[in-house]
Amino acid sequence: MLGNCINNVRKNVPLVHNITNYVTVNDVANVLLACGGSPIMSDEPEDVSDITSICGGLNINIGTLNKRSIEGMFIAGRRANELNHPVLLDPVGAGASALRTNTAVDLMKEIRFTVIRGNISEIKTLALGSGTTKGVDADVADTVTEETLDQAVTFVKAFAAKMNCIIAITGAIDLVADANTCYVIRNGRPEMGKITGTGCQLSGMMTAFITANPDQQLEAAAAAVCTMGLAGEIGWKNMQPGDGNSTYRNRIIDAIFNMDGQTLNAGAKYEVK
């Protein structure tokens, strides 16, 4: 059951090194604390090898790239691979600029990733070598719908097989797959799109989940997606008159803080294909 995965995070308190973007770094730290993990943030090239060495997992997010942070990503990724630590790539905005696309592609060539997590446009860009994104949001033409679901499942399994890792595509319908199995997840609220950084928060949390559940990483990645989506549903249900997107962000984090395995098992909406 997916609930065991969040229970293991709370039990093991995985320390996660985040090279993430400065738009959402505080929320990523708070979500990691809320789910039971522990965050460290560092992107300085002279610092990242030591930090990665004392952590259990590495979360690389390319949302606000600069030359220093790119260098740090490669150093930390290589060190994590040497230590056989799980590594997650969040290719924010791949397809929106040459720097973002090329950095993500180069990282995939040099670093062995456990999970690559992004929206459908970002993942298609990495899989096909070209694509479009509306800034850091998915292009509407790429949206996973009930009509395109089977095609999307085939695509994500094939890309997972090619990369020999877990691929997580998040959107209105979420897909979390390895080469053979795909979790199709329908948790969440459309209002979550009004908050900056729910994807970044999910990547940090997912790194904690796969670090704390080394023997069931596909299930752990799916559990993280369900946790975020279910927290969005619970947070929205707790909104009061006059509340806006700032309050909603906090209510989502609070819902994650209060999430346990029983709540997750009861509220997770998924099927396996």
**Distances from the Cα of 217 to the Cαs of 213, 221, 242, 248, in angstroms?**
6, 6, 40, 29
Question: Which of 72-76, 193-197, 231-235, 259-263 is the least confident region?
Answer: 193-197
197 phi, psi to nearest 5 deg: 100, 10
Q: Answer yes or no: is pLDDT of 141 > 90.
A: no
Summarize the chain as % helix, strand, coil (round to 5).
55, 15, 30
**Average pLDDT of every residue of the chain:** 94
Domains and their CATH numbers in the chain:
3-272 (3.40.1190.20)
Predicted local distance difference test score (pLDDT) of residue 130:
54
Count CA atoms closer than 13 A to 159's CA, side-chain side: 29
pTM, two decimal places: 0.94
Residues 81-109: what's their mean pLDDT? Answer: 94
270-272 β-sheet, strand order: 38-41, 15-19, 57-61, 87-90, 115-118, 166-169, 174-177, 182-185, 270-272
Predicted local distance difference test score (pLDDT) of residue 85:
98
Q: Answer yes or no: is pLDDT of 138 > 50.
A: no
Residues 116-124: what's their mean pLDDT? Answer: 94
| Cβ neighbours of residue 150 closer than 8 Å, sequence gap 6 or more | none
Q: How far is CA 123 from the centre of its chain?
A: 12
Confidence of residue 154 (pLDDT cuts 50, 70, 90): very high
